Amino acid sequence: MRDFGKPEAIVMVLDSEPTMRAVLSDALESANYMAVSAADLGEAVQRLAETPPDLLITRPYINNMPGWVAAEYLRTRQNGLPVLIVAGFMKDDRTEAQYTIKDFHTFPEAFGREDLVAAVKRVLAGK
């Protein structure tokens, strides 16, 4: 992580794809967020204990596990953790439950840095 002083917030990026983790983390860090990344649920639990995030960003699937299921589990360890699921176009019976969960937000797959940062700001502001 880059050190530019106090970060705007701490954001955990939970994604099994290394390239996507790196892209999301880089975009967040360029906007002065502290990005903490994890490749799977076990690593996310460990990171959560070390550095509790203000927001969790995940994908619809993490190592064949629905992202919203992983997010709900993490929220049992940090109550009220807001979640941003990157890939809002996936809406079917496998992901439908995430749309009824408080503080779960979705975001379309195709996006630029500015779009991601704007979505993160909206979620953190409670909008």
28-81 pLDDT, tens digit per residue, is: 999 999 999 999 999 999 999 999 999 999 988 888 888 889 999 999 999 999
Q: What is the pTM of this model?
A: 0.81
DSSP states along the chain = ----SS-S-EEEEE-S-HHHHHHHHHHHHHTTPEEEEESSHHHHHHHHHHS--SEEEE-SEETTEEHHHHHHHHHHHSTT--EEEE-TT--STTTGGGGGSTTEEEE-SS--HHHHHHHHHHHHTT-
Tell me, which fold does domain 10-124 have in CATH? Rossmann fold (3.40.50)
Q: What is the pLDDT of residue 68?
A: 86
Check pLDDT > 60 for residue 18. yes
**Displacement of CA 59 from its chain's centroid (Å):** 8
Determine the residue type at 82. Answer: P
Q: What is the pLDDT of residue 71?
A: 92
Check pLDDT > 70 for residue 94. no
Q: Where are the domains of the chain?
A: 10-124
